[in-house]
Amino acid sequence: MSEYLPGLEGVPATKSNISDIDGEKGILAYRGYPIEQLAEHSNFEETTLLLLDGRLPTADELALFDDQLRKNREIKYQLREIMKNLPATGHPMEMLQTAIAGLGMFYPGNECLTGSELCEDMDYVHNMSVKIIARIATIVAMWEPIRNGYDPIKPRRDLGHAENFLYMFTGEEPDPFIARILDICLVLHAEHTINASTFAALVAGSTLAGPFGVVAAAIGTLSGPLHGGANQRVVEMLGDIRSPDRVEEWVDRKLANKEVIWGMGHREYKVKDPRATILQKLMEKLVEYRGGNISPLFETALALEKAAEQRLSHKGVYANVDFYSGILYAEMGIPTDQFTSVFAMARSAGWLAHWREQLRDNRIFRPTQVYTGEPFRDYVPVEQR
């Protein structure tokens, strides 16, 4: 039996072609392409197809995929009614898990997935991936008006993925500059090797569960504060600090008390997370775009990042992807409790790429345990306890 390593740290759980991290050099690549180049030249639609298919698409392939996404944005009215019956006070990630699981009931699995044979039907796998990736954005956007008591806005086919999301979310014509920032955020969050939610997708997929059940398992896993919930906590923390002049004293107090500063450091990177570097530049561009006119939250974030870097960068601890993405989402008018849902929209691409990969060389996950409980013993009748 292998050694027990808590959290399976350092234990390889799968073989994968999808993404790779060099934590010493601060490199993240999808299918070999560094994230910086994808952020600069690609968009969410192309990056998603790259993750799913393993190669950059031709112009025709990309146009077809983009068209498929646009045509898969609408959801059935029954699902809208389901969403209206969910309490507005619940967490949006629970809503998303509910809606995606429910969506699966409308698309019964094909026989090769529900039978004992592995699914060789790549059309089915592709079509279900398109359905989920397109609709997850619709569902996240619809929830905002629904939970506020208003009818959701219908998706538009003339807008790109990020633009249409912002349009449906805010009800306003999206600002192309802001939409491109969101688009880049989606590219950056689309995939990140075998994190907990992707791992949950592999475990669920390994039983040949259907894609909606697999993605719903991943959403439930992402919802935890130690995983997808961190960017929400960054903005809540900035709200606690309240203003830039309170930052220095706040950071010193936190460090002295050895308390968590949300959005700092990452287990996989010894140097600065490459996604954080990209997001930091986007923040600077956004400040410029707004003519230096920025919110107190944003100002507090800039001050906190500077203060933290002075005190922590010698330990290899820098502001991470969650630190910047939360602030950018807040600047786009997305409420803090919806940040993780936006993360899920992006990560659905990675989950489904891993699901497809798992199906091609499947073995059900059935690890062992170190049993530390009672030895075999006899039952004691209730009157003798």
* Enzyme catalytic residues: 266, 322
Give the residue carrying structure tokens 């060789």. Answer: 120
Residue 281 or 306 with smaller CB distance to its own copies? 281
Q: Please, what is the minimum distance in Å from the beta carbon of residue 215 to its own copies?
A: 8
β-pairing, 19-22 with 27-30?
antiparallel
Alpha carbon distance 322, 219 (integer Å)? 17
3-state class (DSSP) for residue 134: helix
Q: Please, what is the minimum distance in Å from the beta carbon of residue 45 to its own copies?
A: 12
3-state class (DSSP) for residue 246: helix
Residue 194 or 312 with smaller CB distance to its own copies? 194
Q: Please, what is the minimum distance in Å from the beta carbon of residue 287 to its own copies?
A: 27
Alpha carbon distance 190, 96 (integer Å)? 17
Residue 256 or 380 with smaller CB distance to its own copies? 380
Tell me, letter by letter, the H, E, C secondary structure of 17-47.
Answer: CCEEEECCCCEEEECCEEHHHHHHHCCHHHH
Q: Please, what is the minimum distance in Å from the beta carbon of residue 290 to its own copies?
A: 29
> Amino acid identity of 351?
W
> Amino acid identity of 376?
F
Q: Please, what is the minimum distance in Å from the beta carbon of residue 349 to its own copies?
A: 16
Structure tokens at 298: 């944003």
- Count the Cβ atoms, other than its own, within 10 Å of residue 7: 8
3-state class (DSSP) for residue 68: helix
- Count the Cβ atoms, other than its own, within 10 Å of residue 178: 19
CA-to-CA separations, 318 to 159, 263, 269, 336, in angstroms, rounded: 36, 8, 10, 22
Q: Please, what is the minimum distance in Å from the beta carbon of residue 131 to its own copies?
A: 14
DSSP state of 121: -
What is the Cα 90 distance to its own chain's centre? 19
Residue 104 or 174 with smaller CB distance to its own copies? 104
Closest by CA to 346, choosing from 328, 359, 358, 368, is: 328
Residue 92 or 174 with smaller CB distance to its own copies? 92
Residue 166 or 192 with smaller CB distance to its own copies? 192
